[in-house]
Structure 1
Amino acid sequence: MKLATWFSAFLLFSSVVSAEIVESKLTLPGKLGSAVLYSDSDNTEAGPAVVVVHEWWGLNDYARGRARQLAEAGYTAIAVDMYGTGKSTDHPKDAMAFMKAALAEPDKMNARFDAALAILAKQPVVDKNKLYAIGYCFGGAVVLNQARRGLDLAGVASFHGTLGTEAKAQANTVKAKVLVATGGADPMVPPAQVGGFVEEMSAAGVDLQLLSFPGVVHGFTNPGATAVGVKNKMPLAYDANADRLSWEALMAMLAE
């Protein structure tokens, strides 16, 4: 009896440790930059996959960690560098410069996103009808704009991302479901901007889920946000509850 119990426990332990998250560093075609692909080696059936777009700090450990977290949940994920290759910082002045340079070349940003999405679609364990995109801060704005472009995405999720745009979504153009998680006390995404976004999505007939967390400021999903906010005197702070609830909403979207 003891031997049988030990053997069962061994099999369970073996099945747990056999799963391996594979990290593959990639170069995007056309000298567009780089990306990192994460997948679970145990996956054998095609399922959802996610493009992850970083905060204005660049493709750092936090953004890569979110892509890895998705792989650990059973999804294939690719973290794409919207700045090209390797630009990252923890100083807001540099981050602003990186972001402005990227925003000045929207066609190149779209090309980087398209290249990352194409890489995902080619993976053998990815269902091409279940491609998603998520973004944080700057990345949240990026993925919302990809939805506004009318890309064949099953869904997009923006976490503490800016919501305004000059190129508003047109009726019956957005194919993706949209999840937005924002801080109710975030001065970078004020209530008027949130209200305008809701009106835009409603007018365009978009399937929108909006989560607004009272008293929560910018960067609430990033555990390092509080220290960076204090250091640079910025309204940044991690909020464990908002982080948990917004991630659960994303998991529910991916599981649909």
Structure 2
Amino acid sequence: MVAAIKTREITYTAADGSTLIGYFAAPESVEPVAGIIVAPEWWGRTEYAEQRARELAEHGFAALAIDMYGDKKVTSAPSQAGEWMMQTFQGNTIVERAGAGLATLAAQPEVDNTRLAAIGFCYGGKVILDLARSGADLKAAITFHANLSAQQAAQQDTFKAEVLVLHGELDSMVSLDDVESFKQEMNNAHVTAEVIVLKDAKHGFSNPHADEHAKANNVDLGYNAEAEKKGLKAMYSLLDRTLA
């Protein structure tokens, strides 16, 4: 049964002074529910990220699609997306901005702040993994076709989340060697982590707009409905278990 939901925008501020605008969705529930941040692709806080937040709310969670660039800026140009993304690679910007989003989510009256998780897509996958690596109080961290690289490798004493990585077999942007390196990082830190490699799936497999982005920008992206379906099923299985 799909829950009736409510949505709103929430303005918050990061430690670097950036004004960020998140998109919040939650079920019409009397009792506080588990909360999940949604970290978007490098295009910014697009309608796609907002859609995923609404779906999580319909499933019974509160969700905040976070803003990583400020003022909910979005673009369809890879050059602009790359510029904005690289700006967040400076210093501790990723963790500061994602952490501000997590704190904002946790502060909402609809949210049980003892049950928090994070999901991320592409660049957003790196965002939530770096947030988890920083020691954020997350029950689960789930990525779709993510950049798995670490600015600071996971440490056993600080990493709290259980991890699920959903990776496309044909992803030309994040290689299977990269995946193996990530697995080793998780093993070294004694993190409970599962990597699911989805057959015949390219980078961007979960986004129905991936083919459109690929054609417009001559990049190797591709939507795969079966991989999306399998990935979402695995995601909800982990969220339902860890946030119960």
TM band (smaller chain): over 0.9
Deviations 1:168-223 (A, max 9, x none): 11123210000100111111110110000001101100010111113211000000
Stretches of structure 1 that go unaligned for 5 or more consecutive residues are 1-14
Task: Please say if 1:57 is aligned against 2:43.
Answer: yes
State the match for 2:232 in structure 1. 247
Do the aligned partners of 2:130 and 2:151 also contact (CA within 8 Å) in 1?
no
Gapped regions of structure 2 (runs ≥ 5): none
2:69 matched to which residue of 1? 83
Cα drift, residue 230 of structure 1: 1.9
Distance 1:67 1:198, change over 3 A: same
RMSD of aligned Cα (Å): 1.7
Residue 122 of structure 1 and its aligned partner are, at CA, apart by 2.2
Asked if the contact 2:26–2:110 (Cα under 8 Å) also holds between the matched residues in 1, the reply is: no
- Which one of 18, 23, 26 corresponds to residue 36 of structure 1? 23
How many Å apart are 1:117 and its aligned residue?
Answer: 1.4
Match of 1:21 in 2: 5
Moved beyond 4 Å, runs of 4+: none
Residue 167 of structure 1, aligned match among 149, 152, 164:
152
User: 1:32·1:108 contact (CA, 8 Å) conserved in 2?
Assistant: no
Measured against aligned partners, the alpha-carbon deviations of 1:128-155 in whole angstroms (never above 9, x if no partner) come to 2210011100000000011111111101
Q: Percent identity?
A: 37
Q: CA deviation at 1:31?
A: 4.2
Matched residue of 2:79: which SS?
helix
Letter in 1 for 2:116: L
- CA distance 1:166–1:103, shift in 2 (3 Å): closer
Partner of 1:12: none
Question: Which AA in structure 2 matches 1:192?
Answer: D
The aligned counterpart of 1:205 is: 190
Residue number among 214, 221, 234 corresponding to 1:229 in the alignment: 214
Alpha-carbon distance between aligned partners in 2 of 1:99 and 1:89, rounded to the nearest angstrom: 11
Deviations 1:93-115 (A, max 9, x none): 111111112222x4333222222
Q: Find the structure with the greater CA-based Rg.
A: 1
* Aligned equivalents of 1:111, 1:192: Cα separation in 2: 29
Q: Tell me if structure 2 keeps the 8 A contact 1:23–1:37.
A: yes
Q: Structure 1 residues 143, 53: CA separation in 2 closer, same or farther (over 3 Å shift)? A: same
The amino acid across from 2:69 in the alignment is Y
Distance in 2 between residues matched to 1:143 and 1:229, nearest whole Å:
24
Task: Specify the alignment match of 1:217 in structure 2.
Answer: 202
Quote the residue 1:71 is aligned against: 57
In terms of mean alpha carbon deviation, does 88-97 or 136-145 score higher? 88-97
SS at match of 1:199: helix
The equivalent of 2:84 in structure 1 is: 98
Cα deviations across residues 24-57 of structure 1 (Å, max 9, x unaligned)? 111103543211111112x122331100111001
TM-score normalised to the size of structure 1? Answer: 0.88
| Higher helix proportion (structure 1 or 2) | 1
1:191 counterpart = 2:176: yes
Change (3 A) 1:107 1:175: same
* Shift in Å, 1:23: 1.4
| Cα offset, 1:228, TM superposition | 1.3
SS in 2 for 1:55: coil
Residue correspondences, number = 238
